[in-house]
């Protein structure tokens, strides 16, 4: 590996643990308020996220706008701190080698495909896709999701993970940030029609939380090891492959399909947990050791 394949992100400006906690708490609080406000507007417009194209312009704007609330909350949290008025500096914009980016793309691609291949091979759901749609979703359409992934990750990883890493151990950082990120999406599942037909909203929310927390664990580890860009690419790849190939290619064959397939199903949750465990074993543990050994200063990387 070259030096750009490891941690190359510049260290964030030195701050006390008190300031780090304050920015993290303010971000979480502001994100919750903004997310709830956007969800309330979407609910008032009777948005169903499974049929978002049928929503009113205001409903669509509120729903898609949820992806940008982490960015707004992150900037507001930093501006509220007299010593933190640095805009987007220190949130993980760093040079990174091609190997971490390739790994990030594979990490986003593999768990989604693995989950749905199991669904198709076991007959839990039928398959109606083709290689062309898979290739398009895994390449060109990833680019379309990069802005949305970047807006989310600047808040959840760039600010929250970076600041939490200054006051907590890496594994705690990965899990806490992943859980909070997952919970910020629950409104889409429970109140905005994100639960598939015939599935319990509680089950759908639980499976989504497990899968998304595991993905958040991976993205957090990427942030601390390589900076922002690999996590953004992995996040965008998951979304593009899920929404433009895996889910559209799955045919309901019985009552079990919606419980096992989709991003609120069992297959995706299990696949992403396995991916997080493998990533931690191969890459995350080395970053954890490095950060723990060097303490707060090293954890400011990215």
Residue 143 burial (10 A CB sphere; 0-12, 13-18, 19+): exposed
Query: What is the residue range of 130's domain?
Result: 94-295
Q: Does residue 2 fall inside a structural domain?
A: no
End-to-end CA distance of the chain: 19
The tens digit of pLDDT for each residue in 124-155 reads 999 998 989 999 999 999 999 999 999 999 99
74-81: long-range contacts at Cβ-Cβ below 8 A with a sequence spacing of 24 or more? 74/27, 74/154, 74/155, 74/158, 74/159, 74/160, 76/26, 76/30, 77/23, 77/24, 77/26, 77/27, 77/30, 77/159, 78/23, 78/159, 80/26, 81/19, 81/22, 81/23, 81/26
Separation of alpha carbons 65 and 131, rounded Å? 32
- Where does the pLDDT of residue 283 fall: very low under 50, low under 70, confident under 90, or very high at 90 and above? confident
Q: Does residue 57 fall inside a structural domain?
A: no
Residues paired with residue 127 on neighbouring β-strands, in sequence order: 250
Q: Does residue 89 fall inside a structural domain?
A: no
> What's the total number of domains in the chain?
1
Q: Does residue 226 fall inside a structural domain?
A: yes
The tens digit of pLDDT for each residue in 197-246 reads 999 999 999 999 999 999 999 999 999 999 999 999 999 999 999 999 99
Structure tokens at 107: 């990490």
State whether residue 288 is helix, strand or coil.
helix
| Percent of the chain residues topping a pLDDT of 90 | 74
Separation of alpha carbons 273 and 166, rounded Å? 26
- pLDDT of 1 reads 39
| Nearest partner of 123 among 293, 261, 289, 230, judged by Cα | 261
The tens digit of pLDDT for each residue in 53-67 reads 899 999 999 999 999
Q: How far is CA 151 from CA 74, 75, 92, in A?
A: 10, 11, 13
Q: Does residue 129 fall inside a structural domain?
A: yes
Residue 295 burial (10 A CB sphere; 0-12, 13-18, 19+): exposed
Q: Does residue 56 fall inside a structural domain?
A: no
CA 117, 121, 125, 130: dihedral to nearest 10 degrees?
Answer: 60
Q: Does residue 222 fall inside a structural domain?
A: yes
Q: Does residue 14 fall inside a structural domain?
A: no
């Amino acid at each position: 590996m070259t030096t750009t394949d490891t941690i190359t992100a510049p260290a964030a400006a030195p701050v006390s643990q008190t300031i780090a906690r304050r920015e993290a708490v303010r971000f979480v609080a502001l994100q919750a308020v903004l997310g709830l406000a956007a969800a309330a507007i979407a609910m008032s417009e009777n948005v169903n996220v499974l049929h978002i194209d049928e929503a009113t312009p205001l409903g669509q704007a509120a729903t898609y706008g949820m992806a940008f609330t982490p960015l707004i909350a992150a900037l507001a949290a930093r501006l509220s701190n007299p010593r933190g008025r640095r805009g987007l500096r220190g949130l993980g914009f760093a040079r990174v080698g091609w190997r971490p980016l390739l790994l990030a793309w594979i990490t986003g691609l593999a768990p989604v495909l693995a989950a749905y291949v199991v669904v198709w091979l076991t007959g839990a759901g039928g398959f109606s896709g083709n290689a062309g749609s898979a290739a398009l979703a895994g390449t060109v359409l990833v680019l379309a999701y990069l802005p949305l992934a970047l807006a989310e990750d600047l808040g959840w990883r760039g600010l929250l993970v970076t600041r939490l890493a200054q006051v907590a151990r890496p594994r705690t950082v990965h899990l806490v940030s992943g859980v909070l990120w997952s919970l910020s999406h629950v409104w889409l599942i429970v109140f905005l029609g994100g639960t598939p037909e015939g599935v319990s909203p509680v089950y759908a929310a639980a499976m989504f939380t497990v899968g998304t927390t595991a993905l958040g664990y991976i993205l957090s580890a990427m942030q601390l090891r390589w900076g922002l860009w690999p996590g953004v690419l992995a996040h965008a790849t998951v979304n593009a492959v899920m929404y433009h190939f895996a889910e559209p290619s799955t045919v309901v064959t019985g009552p079990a399909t919606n419980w096992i397939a989709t991003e609120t199903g069992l297959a995706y949750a299990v696949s992403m947990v396995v991916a997080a465990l493998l990533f931690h074993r191969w890459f995350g543990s080395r970053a954890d050791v490095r950060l723990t050994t060097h303490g707060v200063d090293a954890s400011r990387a990215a």
